Structure 1
């Protein structure tokens, strides 16, 4: 009987008290965990995104289309400055995402434009520089989607034609909570 009571007491401790202690100790370090998360954020494009951007450039060039990546990784501060544009600073609104709310902030997004033979960069979604009666912009977007990018031109509401992202199934909230795709995206987190 004594052994049964000891066993029940041990089980009660393991299933009720221990989880509470673990929860409390995990949440008592929230501030330091957030600081560590901020320090662990990437400062460049994710390796798989970077590799796929190079493949995108190559495949577009094979179709006679030159593209230039006009933006990639952005710090939270850079994102906030873009967010302020058209609001508290002059210019047009170009984003609805504040710092920490954009895939750019986690190295998972790029913006592109078309590059003419003379080096000029254009954002003309109807331009057909390779003369095949198709929009170069949409040809690039199709190649990007084949490579696994999500294209901002497919979004409803705020359509963002230059935007390409690889989110690996992670939401912004996941990223804000410290989840990040591994360098090998087939083995996430």
Structure 2
């Protein structure tokens, strides 16, 4: 009887130890509730604020940047994913709906507006005549604001793409983890 009581106590203590080691890695109640949270339907407030700063700083350099895309619905993402796969056009994305930072309001795409009001994606265009690519000047400003640039990606260069992932993966976003609403 005494041995069985000792064994039960040891088993309980081991259970408490294992639980204390594992519990920090288990989803917290708040995260579980977020899985039921509504998907975003607009740009994240921090991304919106940084986008506006990007536009103002570009204007200060004599560059007219145009935001061609911000938040993108899952349905729209699926339509873009089909481009070049279901028709003769070029593939424009490798991300299906729910697999793009656009779907979570964490990405924007941009282009340049020339002095003749034509929108261009010309990476070498120098409309402010300072001997530097306006495109790369925009990228430099964006990076200083905390954006990551799709032109730095290894496998699929997405030159118009800027995103802020807040350290979250697509998988984490799909599971309901959201970035904070304000700058840290």
Structure 1 segments, 4+ long, off by >3 Å, are 36-39
Instruction: Pick closer, same or farther for the CA change 1:37–1:117 going to 2, 3 Å.
Output: farther
Which range moved further: 69-78 or 116-125? Answer: 116-125
Report deviation, 1:15.
Answer: 4.1
Q: Is the 8 A contact 1:168 1:185 kept in 2?
A: no
Provide the rounded CA distance (Å) in 2 between the counterparts of 1:109 and 1:139.
18
Provide the rounded CA distance (Å) in 2 between the counterparts of 1:139 and 1:109.
18
- Structure 1's unaligned 5+ residue stretches are 20-25, 27-32
Provide the rounded CA distance (Å) in 2 between the counterparts of 1:141 and 1:47.
20
Provide the rounded CA distance (Å) in 1 between the counterparts of 2:87 and 2:37.
28
Which structure has more relative contact order (CA 8 Å, sep 6+)? It is: 2
Provide the rounded CA distance (Å) in 2 between the counterparts of 1:116 and 1:183.
34
Match of 1:103 in 2: 101
When normalised by structure 2's length, the TM-score is 0.82
The 5-angstrom pairing of residues 1-189 of structure 1 reads 8=9, 11=12, 15=16, 37=35, 40-186=38-184
Provide the rounded CA distance (Å) in 2 between the counterparts of 1:58 and 1:141.
14
- 1:98 is paired with a residue whose SS is coil
User: What is the RMSD of the two structures over their aligned residues, measured on CA atoms?
Assistant: 2.8
Aligned length: 171
